[in-house]
Structure 1
Amino acid sequence: MCSCDHYAWILWVSFEISLELQTFIQCLHSSLNETPNLVFVLCTDFLEHFYEKYGSFIPLCESDVLEQLSQKFGPDLTHRQVVSPPLSSFRLLTASFLVCMYRVTYNKHTLTLEDLSTLDDQNWVNDQVINMYGELIMDAVNQKVHFFNSFFHRQLVAKGYEGVKRWTKKVDLFSKSLLLIPIHLEIHWSLITVDICNQQINFYDSQGITFKHVVDNILRYILAEAKEKKCAVYQKGWKMIINKSIPQQKNDSDCGVFVLEYCKCLAMKEPLQFTQEDMPKVRKRIYKELCECQLKERNPHGAN
């Protein structure tokens, strides 16, 4: 469920972005050879709808505009380069105008625009984004995968198995195919997965760091859970694997986004085929998926 101030949008378009929007339209007009009024109306309607749907222009891409225009003027837009410069300028101009009342709710999760804005540029993704995205992943695979809340490991470390035992009171972990456990240590995100069928605990880190004590924590938890649920077959025989040949980040801000992309690919049984260069698009895609409360299909040519 989303909401925004429609009248604020109208006033803002009228008084704050008219010059920038007109420049944008003129560039498109020169490329499309259509009347300025028609292009203006099409773009204004699209941008208004986009703003209402997503609460900001953070996830706005050149391809979004081109797709809308191609529906009217055909797919053969030979001057795609005219879209990018004015669109970049337009996005910068609108970045400060945010819909303070915008909300996205899904099951027990609620995201504000402040939460969603952690997906902008090189911001650090917060727990609220991590946890709601995990919920979308579980629903996308019909609950065959279980995603642990990002606070799980902290609680496990602080209070031991007894402190988290109730977290799976209504969940049979050993009926799942895969467990996804995001790990947040101070300022860095990593991921642990538990392959139930093959009894493997896998560690994924986008900076190539190994936190063996974290893997040990999860192993002890799994053994305790198996004992509690009287699953003798899972009380021994576990293997621990540190995955090294995986996509790596090249900055200090995208670890959370890498973890979400690991989670999605592993849950959907897709190869980890993305790079640091894909992160701007991945951030925008995740933002849209959260607002739409549904995962998008993966681009067969790589990260969306």
Structure 2
Amino acid sequence: MRPKLRLGDPLKYRIGNKTLVVTQDDFSRLDDGEFLNDTIIDFYLKYILDKLRKSKPEIIGNTYVFNTFFYKKLTQRVKGTRASYENVRKWTSKVDLFSMKYVIIPIHEKAHWYVAIICNLDQLVKQAEEKEKTRNDEIRNFDSDNEAEIEFGSSSSQGIEKFISGGKRQNAPDSASDPTIFVLDSLRLKHANIFRPLREYLVAEAQEKRGITLEKLDIKSKYAYAPSQPNYCDCGVYVAHYVEVFLSKPDAFLPLLVDSAHKKDNVERQLDKLYDVEKLGAKREYMQKLILDLKETMVDELETKTAVAKDDNDGDVLTPLSDVVTLGPEDIARNAARAVQDPPVDAPIEKEPLNDQPVDEKLRSNQLPGQ
């Protein structure tokens, strides 16, 4: 068992114009045997995006990560109805999901974290547009004298009806380029209703934002292989790790995640290498040290850049450190140089809350259990 570390005062970490706040209570969730909460998951996923934005801009520019409350809000029943698009319709007011190649949805249900990774959404709209064009061409060229009889209830239509009505036949992807919802779960659990609300959400989102009608069968789905946790409490850690390694090399992951032609053991061995499974045992310690290092850098920077404001009556007045802008990774990289060269900051920069999306205050809690 590792000794418990203390964060002390909160870390306030800036990414763009957003400030992420990690408190001592959040930090303690990274102690051995503790459940990660929503704040730690949100913080680390956004940190990953910010880190990879510099090294892999072509990937991160085509990636969108929902916060940890999205799926719960999507599936929240309204007046006895099932999952409602209206619950989350405004969450993507500033983003076009169908221009994204990767969409990440961390999910917390029944004290357990897992993640849905939706791939190739940019291809989904293209497919729908091509189908619509083909359908219109067929209508224009239709010869009623040679109309072919189509028997409703044929094996083809029965298969579709079975799938839509919740049959067990899997709608698995055929290739790495198929629009697909992958679910990664470190307990290897099967979630009975995970794919339906996500498909329905994508169909409604395409109609609302693009005016395009999608077919549910065009959205493939699969429970993808992922390393399993050895205990009851590390699922949040594994979710953070899954997302980090996937986004670092998605082109290597996707062909293996959809592979059904080769021996399962061989595919899983290759995936274990991509997942960097040997790093999972030390992931909690790594995340704690990261937060401590970020805070130390922030404090050092603030001490060397203590802002001096001119007061007409009292002369020089020191601005409290708590009012000075917090740091992002770009500040860290040039810390030493700026400590010598930069003039004092004249005024603090306004900080904004973490998420663009509206969050139901009843859901916002740093006390979520999370296996």
Residue type matched to 2:25 in 1? E
What is the aligned partner in structure 1 of residue 47 from structure 2?
Answer: 136
Q: Distance in 1 between matches of 2:228 and 2:241?
A: 12
Matched residue SS, 2:85: helix
Residue type matched to 2:284 in 1? R
What is the aligned partner in structure 2 of residue 165 from structure 1?
Answer: 89
Residue pair 2:29, 2:37 contacting (<8 A) in 1 also = yes
- Deviation, 1:242, is 1.2
**RMSD of aligned C-alpha atoms?**
2.3
- Deviation, 1:226, is 0.9
The answer to whether structure 1 residue 255 and structure 2 residue 256 are counterparts is no
Residue type matched to 2:73 in 1? Q
Q: Which of 11, 15, 30 matches 1:119?
A: 30
Greater fraction of residues in helix: 1
Q: Distance in 2 between matches of 1:231 and 1:193?
A: 24
Count the aligned residue pairs.
200
The Cα offsets for residues 81-123 of structure 1, whole Å up to 9 and x where unpaired, read as xxxxxxx9xx73xx37x35323233324211122122112121
The answer to whether structure 1 residue 183 and structure 2 residue 107 are counterparts is yes
Residue pair 1:109, 1:132 contacting (<8 A) in 2 also = yes
Q: Which of 177, 197, 210 matches 1:230?
A: 210
Matched residue SS, 2:246: helix
Greater RCO, 1 or 2 (C-alpha within 8 Å, sep 6+): 2
Question: Measured at CA, do residues 240 and 117 of structure 1 come closer, stay the same or move farther in structure 2, by a change above 3 Å?
Answer: same
- Deviation, 1:125, is 0.7
Residue type matched to 1:269 in 2? K
**After the TM superposition, which of the residue ranges 112-121 and 202-211 deviates more from structure 2?**
112-121
Question: Measured at CA, do residues 222 and 113 of structure 1 come closer, stay the same or move farther in structure 2, by a change above 3 Å?
Answer: same
What is the aligned partner in structure 1 of residue 275 from structure 2?
Answer: 273
What is the aligned partner in structure 2 of residue 105 from structure 1?
Answer: 13
- Deviation, 1:231, is 5.5
The Cα offsets for residues 141-190 of structure 1, whole Å up to 9 and x where unpaired, read as 44421111111111111152111111110011111110110110021011
Q: Map 1:201-220; keep pairs closer than 5 Å.
A: 201-220=181-200
Question: Measured at CA, do residues 232 and 288 of structure 1 come closer, stay the same or move farther in structure 2, by a change above 3 Å?
Answer: farther
What is the aligned partner in structure 1 of residue 285 from structure 2?
Answer: 284
- Percent identity of paired positions between Structure 1 and Structure 2: 30
The answer to whether structure 1 residue 239 and structure 2 residue 220 are counterparts is yes
Q: Distance in 2 between matches of 1:99 and 1:284?
A: 13
Unpaired stretches in structure 1, ≥5 consecutive residues: 1-87, 295-304
Residue type matched to 2:282 in 1? K
**After the TM superposition, which of the residue ranges 111-120 and 123-132 deviates more from structure 2?**
111-120
Greater Rg over alpha carbons, structure: 2
Q: What TM-score does the superposition give when structure 1 sets the normalisation length?
A: 0.60
Residue type matched to 2:66 in 1? F
Question: Measured at CA, do residues 120 and 143 of structure 1 come closer, stay the same or move farther in structure 2, by a change above 3 Å?
Answer: farther
